[in-house]
Amino acid sequence: MVGWSAQGLPLVLLLALLPLRVAAQTNAAASVPALPSVVLETFPESARVAIQRAIDLAKAHADDAAACGALGMTLQAWEQWETAHTAYERASRLSAQDADWLYLDGVVLQRLGRPADASERFQRALTLAPESVTASARLAEALFDAGDLEASRRAYTALSGEPSAAPVSALGLGRVAARAGRHEDAVGHFRQAIALFPEFGAAYYGLAQSLRALGRSEEARDALKQHTTYGARWPAIDDPLTAKVAALRDDPRVLLARGLREASLGDLPAAIASHEAAIAADPKLAQGRANLISLYGRTAQWEKAEAQYRALLAMGFNEDEAHYNYGVLLGLQKRWAEATAAYRLTIEANPLHAQARNNLGQLLEVERKFAEATEQYRLAVAADPLLRLARYNLGRMLLASRQVEEAVTEFDKLREPRDAESPRYWYGLAVATVQAGRRQQGVALAQQARELAEQFGQQQLVAAIDRDLAGLK
């Protein structure tokens, strides 16, 4: 008689199945990567303690996904991409329902130049956490880098409704269109990205390339100049996981970069804390002190700002930036005469400091020193032709001194790019054109300025233009 197990299977069959189950379990275990091998001697002293702690924790809890993932985060923080990937892969195999390790592994695979593998990780992460905007943005980027343009286009289109991701969505759609040779479409997307984030360096670069492909060389040169000005500035999308990774390092360079990122997100208390920590770790970090002058000023901590200014001057570094930031600080306190002196010191240290010349020009206007103000604006534009505010101020002064045609020339250079600053620039051009005797053209320009103002929600300017247009009829 055949015996039966408690589960109702014949004992013979149960015994027959056992080797298969053991084999399956063995294969599953074999599919989990081993912990990465890390040679600590290759790391700086400041990194070894943190990495060794993470290694010891992972070894003590080798089957704990959290411990393995924590090791991956530490290695990623110190830019050890291959070993971080191995640790994340182990963590994601041990905890298949945790989207975090898949997402971070995707980020690391992007850094390793493996976009197809990265997109697979992001897709799996989104299956588990479909609400993640950062994973969606990373997926769209990885698909583009992997050459899957149609999938990337769909992913970027899906992002367009997310306010924080809308500029990146427009940039991505522009890149997809440009890669496909649809440069007219690409130009529209790049301009939209710039309208949403006027300092989007990558969007200006893409715009320049598409304009060049269309044979619009002069516009392309202007866009490329804007790219040079804004460089790597990028609209931030909140990414708490990579922020956690970044927080694992506390060396001065990383603390300074973290503080700048926090400032760009508008979190001034956090930015100040990161800068203070960076200076505590390296008191000779001149850039950190220069940034703190501005950060303290923005939070009305005047005495602390002045202390950083004095410390920076004593170090003998970044003198032009120290004087300039201090000038802005004094302006915030309405200490106009002292601000003027600070800007003059800035220019003495760096005659090509365009912002200082522009700000000095504005203070000279208040003192009714119009000729000197005009000269400062001219010098600011000469030092930085892309400083649009200085060119606009120069146009205003030329118009006030009845140098109308020269004013038209300056305002005309401000037509591009089109962003939230554009309406008043276009309106200045309209006024100058009317005063130059070209009434019909000026009215048309004023109407375009009005449309731009309405587009950017500038209702006061819309009303002002309406009043002037009514007077011209």
Name the phi and psi angles at 4, rounded to 5. Answer: -120, 145
CB atoms within 10 A of CB 38: 21
Average pLDDT over all residues of the chain: 90
Same domain assignment for residues 190 and 218 = yes
Question: What pLDDT sits at residue 49?
Answer: 86
Report if residue 43 sits inside a domain: no
Please state the length of the chain. 473
Residue among 199, 196, 204, 198 at smallest CA distance from 175? 204
Q: What angle do CA 396, 398, 402 make, to 5 degrees?
A: 115
For the cut 80, the answer to whether the pLDDT of residue 24 exceeds it is: no
Q: Would you call 42 helix, strand, or coil by DSSP?
A: helix
Lowest-confidence region among 17-26, 103-112, 127-136, 339-348: 17-26
| Residue pLDDT, tens place only, 170-196 | 999 999 999 999 999 999 999 999 999
d(CA 309, CA 104) in angstroms, rounded, equals 40
Whether residue 253 sits in one domain with residue 295: yes
Residue with more model confidence, 246 or 105: 105
Q: What is the pLDDT of residue 30?
A: 45
228 and 294 both lie in a single domain: no
Of 238, 243, 295, residue with least CA distance to 271: 295
Tell me the residue type at 229. Answer: T
CB within 8 Å of 5: residues ≥ 6 apart = 11, 14
Please indicate, yes or no, if residue 119 is contained in any of the structural domains. Answer: no
CATH number, residue 169: 1.25.40.10
- Give the Cα separation of 159 and 152 in Å (integer): 11
Is position 320 within any domain? yes
Contact 278, 255 (CB under 8 A): yes
Whether the Cβ atoms of residue 411 and residue 392 lie closer than 8 Å to each other:
yes
- Same domain flag for 262 and 336: yes
- 417-438 mean pLDDT: 92
Mean pLDDT of the region 270-278: 95
Q: How far apart are CA 419 and CA 406, in angstroms?
A: 24
- Is the domain of 383 the same as that of 446? no
Q: Which of 288, 309, 340 is at the close of a domain?
A: 340
Calculate mean pLDDT across residues 136-163. Answer: 96
Identify the residue whose tokens are 């997926």. Answer: 139
In three-state secondary structure terms, 4 is strand
pLDDT at 52: 92
* Residues 56, 57, 62: CA angle, nearest 5 degrees: 100
Mean pLDDT of the region 188-217: 95
End-to-end alpha carbon distance in the chain: 110
254 and 332 share one domain: yes
pLDDT at 15: 32
Note down the domain range covering 276.
249-340
Average confidence (pLDDT) over 343-364: 97
Percent of the chain with pLDDT strictly greater than 90:
77
438 and 393 within one domain = no
The residue among 172, 203, 233 that closes a domain is: 233
10 vs 321, residue with greater confidence: 321
Do residue 422 and residue 472 come from a single domain?
Answer: yes
Please check whether residue 169 lies inside any domain of the structure: yes
Average pLDDT score over residue span 401-421? 92
468 domain-assigned: yes
Angle of the 422-435 helix axis to the 459-472 helix axis, nearest 10: 20
In this structure, the answer to whether residues 312 and 355 fall within a common structural domain is no
Q: Evaluate whether residue 383 is within a structural domain.
A: yes
Count: domains in the chain: 4
**pLDDT computed for residue 48 by the predictor:** 87
* C-beta neighbour count of 408 within 10 angstroms: 21
Average pLDDT for 14-40: 57
Residue 409: C-alpha distances to residues 186, 276, 433, 459 (Å): 29, 46, 10, 27
Between CA 124 and CA 113 the distance in angstroms is 19
- Residue 80, amino acid: Q
Q: Say if residue 256 is in the same domain as residue 335.
A: yes
Q: Is 232 exposed, middle or buried (0-12, 13-18, 19+ CB in 10 A)?
A: exposed
Of the residues 360, 375, 402, which one is the last residue of a structural domain? Answer: 402
Does the pLDDT at position 13 exceed 70?
no
Distances (CA, A) of 93 to 11, 42, 110, 312: 33, 28, 20, 51
137 belongs to a structural domain: no
How many CA atoms, within 13 angstroms, populate the side-chain half-sphere of residue 310? Answer: 6
Closest CA to 295 of 272, 278, 273: 272
> CA-CA distance, 58 to 194, in Å (whole number)?
45
pLDDT band at 473, cuts 50/70/90? low
Q: Is residue 395 part of a domain?
A: yes
Q: How far apart are CA 119 and CA 97, in angstroms?
A: 17
- Measured in degrees and rounded to the nearest 5, phi and psi for residue 37 equal -90, 125
According to the per-residue pLDDT averaged within each range, which of 81-85, 196-200, 266-270, 420-424 is highest?
81-85
Eight-class DSSP state of 41: G
Determine which of 98-102, 106-110, 419-423 has the lowest per-residue pLDDT on average. 419-423
